[in-house]
Amino acid sequence: MASLNVGSLGEYIREQRRNAQYSLRQLAEVAGVSNPYLSQIERGLRKPSAEILQQIAKALRISAETLYVQAGILEERRGEGLELRASILADPLINEQQKQALLAVYDAFLKENAADGRPGADERADERTDEDEGKTP
């Protein structure tokens, strides 16, 4: 996974907050975090959890995935499991270590499938259709 760049994350959140025309206090209130904590995030002094990033994203009306990528929690990809990853990271019922374990297992499966040269789900569906056309029920 990408390394965390807390400073640029804070700068990005500050920029998004200003674009949304929120004061620091207003965003903190809407996001449900304390004003001092949000200030520390913006200044790059704190590393927010995925849940906090999700709350901030919701308050700013931006994609949580965007903040996850900015924070280095997710690597920027072409939609490769992004929704699944975001759902895992946002799940309040499991802790951070469990979330990272689930993501590691998912990444291992993706690597295994790529190494085996296995086609993607859409290609597999096409192959089944082609094979089924030659068979009689």
pLDDT, tens digit only, all 137 positions of the chain: 333 445 589 999 999 999 899 999 999 999 999 999 999 999 999 999 989 999 999 999 888 888 888 888 877 655 567 778 777 877 788 888 888 888 888 888 888 887 777 654 333 333 333 444 444 44
Residue 42 domain boundaries: 6-130
Assigned domain for 137 exists = no
Assigned domain for 94 exists = yes
Give the integer Cα–Cα distance in Å for 135 and 21.
62
Assigned domain for 19 exists = yes
Assigned domain for 136 exists = no
Assigned domain for 110 exists = yes
Is this structure's pTM higher than 0.75? Answer: no
How many domains is the chain built from? 1
Give the integer Cα–Cα distance in Å for 112 and 116.
6
Assigned domain for 124 exists = yes
Nearest to 60 by CA among 26, 2, 16, 118: 16
pLDDT of residue 2: 39
The answer to whether the CB of 27 falls within 8 A of the CB of 59 is yes
Assigned domain for 1 exists = no
Assigned domain for 47 exists = yes
Query: Can you give the CATH number for the domain in which 122 is found?
Result: 1.10.260.40
Long-range contacts of 125-133 (CB under 8 A, 24+ apart): none
Nearest to 69 by CA among 55, 85, 51, 56: 85
